């Protein structure tokens, strides 16, 4: 157990961070080159005003027509994304580890709040899973990889909840928890999870094209 713990908190953690950062830079660059080669008009259409206008509309809950038409999905995605980012950064156990390893610390969530937010993430993942299986227009676009990505995202939260509440086998579960987080980090550059970085560009471009060329709203 000790050697596993040392490995996943030592070398593997560094590998995960490096793959995440270098992978993201690589992905950015290759998409950039591809755009330049295949569709360089994208750069000409880009317009700061129209881009920001579109991004703002899509970042505000119910700020777009599509969101108004799908209220359940809108509530789920917003809560999901907020909890997905806030929980791992501010959950108490992680703050403690930042303090120990890098001697920096910040605000920590009350344990109860972290539990509720974990439930929100897991619950939303179940909702997204249900959509992919049950709704025809979503099912049509679904590939097996989408289910794997859902699992990659849900796993750190399920295992973390398990470890924190000390359910049976929580020692091994803590190690699985660490590994699952590292897998998620490493998956970001190479899967559609990369939309966390790409969002402003895709949205910004659509906003620019609709605003500047078609003279229409894209929300």
Partner 1 sequence: MNRFINSVMNMNISGITLTAIILTLTFAITTHADDCFTVNGETIDANSNTRPFVCFQHDAHNEKAGLESCDRCHHSYDDQGKLIEGESSEDKSCSECHAGNVGSQKSFDSNRLNIDLAAKYHKLCRDCHITEKKGPVVCGECHKR
Binding residues for partner 1 (CB under 8 A): 1-3, 5-6, 92-93, 95-96, 99-100, 103, 105-108, 111, 163-168, 170-171, 174-175
Helices (H), the chain: 2-9, 11-38, 41-45, 48-59, 65-69, 71-90, 92-102, 111-134, 136-139, 144-164, 170-187, 195-208
Instruction: Enter the tokens of residue 59.
Output: 């970042």
Give the shortest CB-68-to-ligand HEC separation in angstroms: 42
Nearest-CB residue to ligand HEC? 93
* Packing angle of the helix pair 71-90, 111-134 (nearest 10 deg): 140
Residue with Cβ nearer ligand HEC (70 or 105) = 105
Instruction: Enter the tokens of residue 157.
Output: 């939260």
Give the shortest CB-204-to-partner 1 separation in angstroms: 35
- 164's CB contacts (< 8 A; 6+ apart) are 93, 111, 114, 115
Q: Which does 136 bind (CB under 5 to 8 A by kind): ligand HEC, partner 1, none?
A: none
Task: Pick the piece of the chain touching ligand HEC (CB under 6 A) from 61-69, 76-84, 92-100, 134-142.
Answer: 92-100
- Nearest 5 degrees, angle CA 87-CA 88-CA 91? 70
| CB-neighbour burial class of residue 138 (10 A; exposed 0-12, middle 13-18, buried 19+) | middle
Give the one residue of 60, 96, 116, 148 binding ligand HEC; rule: CB under 6 A.
96
Give the shortest CB-197-to-ligand HEC separation in angstroms: 29
Residue with Cβ nearer partner 1 (103 or 143) = 103
93 near ligand HEC, rule: CB under 6 A: yes
Q: Site residues (CB under 6 A) for ligand HEC?
A: 92-93, 96-97
């Amino acid at each position: 157990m000790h050697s596993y713990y040392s490995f996943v908190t030592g070398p593997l953690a560094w590998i995960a961070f490096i793959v995440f950062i270098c992978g993201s830079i690589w992905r950015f660059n290759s998409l950039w080159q591809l755009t330049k080669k295949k569709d360089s008009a994208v750069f000409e259409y880009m317009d700061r005003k129209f881009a920001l206008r579109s991004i703002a509309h899509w970042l505000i809950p119910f700020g777009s027509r599509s969101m108004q038409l799908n209220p359940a999905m809108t509530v789920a995605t917003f809560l999901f994304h907020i909890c997905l980012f806030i929980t791992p950064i501010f959950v108490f156990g992680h703050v403690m580890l930042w303090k120990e390893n890098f001697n920096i610390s910040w605000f920590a969530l009350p344990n109860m709040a972290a539990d509720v937010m974990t439930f929100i993430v897991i619950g939303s993942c179940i909702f997204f899973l249900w959509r992919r299986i049950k709704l025809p227009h979503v099912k049509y676009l679904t590939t097996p990889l989408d289910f794997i990505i859902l699992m990659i995202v849900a796993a750190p939260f399920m295992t973390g909840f398990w470890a924190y509440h000390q359910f049976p086998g929580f020692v091994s579960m803590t190690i699985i928890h660490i590994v699952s987080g590292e897998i998620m980090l490493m998956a970001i550059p190479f899967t559609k999870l990369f939309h966390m970085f790409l969002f402003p560009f895709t949205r910004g471009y659509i906003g620019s094209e609709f605003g500047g060329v078609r003279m229409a709203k894209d929300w």
